[in-house]
């Protein structure tokens, strides 16, 4: 008897429907074809034990299972439940009271028949809705995430026996429903990391606000203990809240690697990723034999923090150049190509010298000019080109640390950032690729960053006197445009240019040569 049951495979952040054909014939044997990996080939042991422990069995017949399309590589243990249900119906151990072909069925089986969670529940549910399936059956841990997709019946189950009774005796399963509006609009008013906890550092907090308002990449330069990491961790708390489209896109990426199981449902806060400096280039940008998203995609719509930037391998930093420019990353293999979104804010930190102290007469370690040059040259010019703001962070004086007065709350700063972002959204509403100032191309800079003569002279004099490099020119204009937006100023004024010039420390002569 031939039976068809449907599962799904995830490639990149999109799902593809997999048709599992199960044919039972005279003879003995168990044949699984259709490019399964080792985890799927081992499924017959899990399925046999799970069925036996629930009063069923794999009969002594010739069973052939084909996973179509047969030229597409399948991986993982999430097809256990799909294959098991196909075997039960094909061998006539259960009778279909409901049609198997109306549902996507996915889940990993334990030997007692209980179900383990799977990866990629959200893209699987989206694909099921697109292809007009009636519903989806999957482990209970994934149900809330899949239920984000409205118009699809989502059933979360704990054991294979529940699925068997659902199709054999029409015993109802409980629908999983999610109030998407309540889930999504429950924003964090009291974030874990709040700028109100930061003592002093007013100029740095101002700089972080500008970076958030314009989506600018930023690098913090300062000695150990000056607060670089503390400030970076608080940046997501002042970024504008995710809109529904961004939240779904972010949730899909985290779903593919199984990171949504901790909270379930839709992600409502912007991600913050902080990989260690020993990370490989594949782990950062994504890839592998079966490609998975890397840290830059996990930081999509959020912040990627690279602490101690010069300590990262140069090859790792260089692979970020294309994603920083294109805001996505494409991974090619012999049989397929996948593209992951990677639109993130880069926040980097570094010491000003190998010893951590620069131009400090009381420094415990003094670095030679050659050591300084070798240390700073680890950051290439092309990568630095993509960082709009450089800011020096100095240690906080004792009298500031002991102040009773708390700083401005992140919620208040976020309101100003959101207003500036709204101005930019209106400015770029005709351009699908540009959403905020940091994404402006040369043509847009010339159009939206027009300077009067006094401002132009100020910029010219600053570039000549401070020996700023040519790469600094466009970056200063972008940052000045953001400063003007924070003040709701239609035109860039001299004060905006003057402040933006301060944020190009590494372009000054004596830093990178």
Report pLDDT digits (tens) over 72-107. Answer: 889 999 999 999 999 999 999 998 888 999 999 999
Sequence-ordered alpha helix ranges (H) in 105-227: 121-130, 140-146, 160-168, 180-184, 202-214
Q: What is the dihedral of CA 393, 394, 399, 401, to 10 degrees?
A: 50
Phi, psi of 18 (to 5 degrees): -110, 125
Rounded to whole angstroms, the maximal C-alpha distance in the chain is 91
Structure tokens at 99: 């049609």
Structure tokens at 339: 């593209």
Give the pLDDT mean for 267-295.
90
Q: Which residues pair with 136 in a beta bridge?
A: 104, 154
- Whether residue 238 is predicted with pLDDT greater than 90 in this model: the reply is yes
Q: Within a 10 A sphere around the Cβ of 450, how many other Cβ atoms?
A: 13
CA torsion sign, 118 to 119 to 121 to 126? negative
Looking at every residue in the chain, the average pLDDT score rounds to: 88
165/142 Cα distance (integer angstroms): 20
320-356 pLDDT per residue, tens = 988 998 899 988 877 778 899 999 999 999 887 776 5
196 exposure class (CB count in 10 Å sphere: 0-12, 13-18, 19+)? middle
Q: What is the dihedral of CA 276, 278, 280, 284, to 10 degrees?
A: 20
11/494 Cα distance (integer angstroms): 50
430/460 Cα distance (integer angstroms): 32
Identify whether the C-beta of residue 396 lies closer than 8 Å to the C-beta of residue 199: yes
Structure tokens at 503: 């944020």
102/100 Cα distance (integer angstroms): 5
Q: What is the DSSP letter of 433?
A: S
The predicted model scores a pTM of 0.88
- Whether residue 303 is predicted with pLDDT greater than 70 in this model: the reply is yes
**Within 13 A of 462's CA, how many CA atoms are on the CB side?**
22
Residue 187: band (very low, low, confident or very high) from pLDDT cuts 50, 70, 90: low
Full set of structural domains in the chain with CATH: 2-177 (3.30.230.10)
């Amino acid at each position: 008897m031939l039976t068809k049951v449907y599962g799904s495979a995830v490639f990149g952040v999109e799902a593809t429907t997999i048709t599992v054909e199960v044919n039972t014939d005279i003879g003995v044997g168990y044949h699984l074809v259709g490019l399964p990996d080792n985890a799927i080939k081992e499924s017959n042991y899990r399925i046999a034990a799970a069925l036996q422990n629930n009063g069923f069995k794999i009969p002594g017949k010739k069973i052939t299972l084909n996973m179509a399309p047969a030229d597409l590589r399948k991986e993982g243990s999430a097809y256990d439940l799909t294959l098991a249900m196909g075997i039960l119906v094909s061998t006539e151990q259960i009778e279909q009271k409901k049609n198997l072909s109306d549902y996507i069925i996915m889940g990993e089986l334990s030997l007692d028949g209980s179900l383990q969670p799977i990866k990629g529940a959200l893209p699987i549910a989206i694909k099921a809705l697109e292809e007009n399936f009636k519903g989806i059956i999957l482990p209970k841990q994934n149900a809330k995430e899949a239920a984000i997709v409205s118009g699809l019946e989502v059933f979360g189950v704990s054991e294979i026996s529940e699925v068997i009774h659902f199709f054999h005796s029409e015993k109802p399963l409980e629908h999983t429903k999610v109030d998407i509006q309540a889930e999504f609009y429950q924003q964090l008013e009291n974030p874990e990391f709040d700028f109100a906890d930061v003592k002093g550092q007013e100029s740095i907090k101002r700089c972080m606000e500008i970076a958030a308002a314009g989506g600018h990449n930023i690098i913090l330069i300062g000695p150990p203990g000056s607060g670089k990491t503390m400030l970076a961790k608080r940046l997501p708390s002042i970024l504008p809240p995710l809109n529904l489209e961004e939240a779904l896109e972010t949730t899909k990426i985290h779903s593919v690697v199984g990171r949504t199981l901790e909270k379930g449902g839709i992600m409502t806060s912007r991600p913050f990723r902080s990989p260690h400096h020993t990370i490989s280039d594949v782990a950062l940008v994504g890839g592998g034999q079966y490609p998975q998203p890397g840290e830059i995609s996990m930081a999509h719509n959020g912040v990627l923090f690279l602490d101690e930037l010069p300590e990262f391998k140069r090859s790792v930093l260089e692979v970020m150049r294309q994603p920083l420019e294109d805001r996505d990353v494409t991974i090619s293999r012999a049989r397929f190509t996948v593209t992951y979104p990677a639109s993130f804010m880069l926040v980097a930190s570094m010491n000003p010298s190998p010893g951590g102290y620069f131009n400090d007469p009381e420094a415990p370690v003094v670095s030679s000019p050659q050591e300084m040059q070798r240390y700073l040259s680890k950051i290439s010019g092309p990568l630095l080109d993509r960082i709009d703001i450089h800011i020096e962070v100095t240690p906080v004086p004792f009298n500031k640390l002991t102040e009773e007065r708390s700083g401005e709350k992140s919620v208040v700063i976020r309101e100003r950032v959101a207003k500036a972002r709204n101005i930019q959204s209106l400015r770029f509403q005709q351009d699908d690729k540009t959403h905020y100032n940091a994404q402006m191309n040369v043509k847009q800079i010339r159009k939206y960053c027009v300077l009067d003569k006094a401002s132009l002279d100020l910029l010219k004099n600053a570039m000549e006197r401070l020996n700023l490099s040519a790469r600094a020119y466009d970056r200063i204009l972008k940052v000045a445009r953001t400063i003007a937006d924070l003040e709701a100023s239609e035109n860039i004024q001299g004060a905006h240019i003057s402040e933006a010039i301060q944020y190009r420390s590494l372009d000054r002569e004596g830093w990178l040569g």
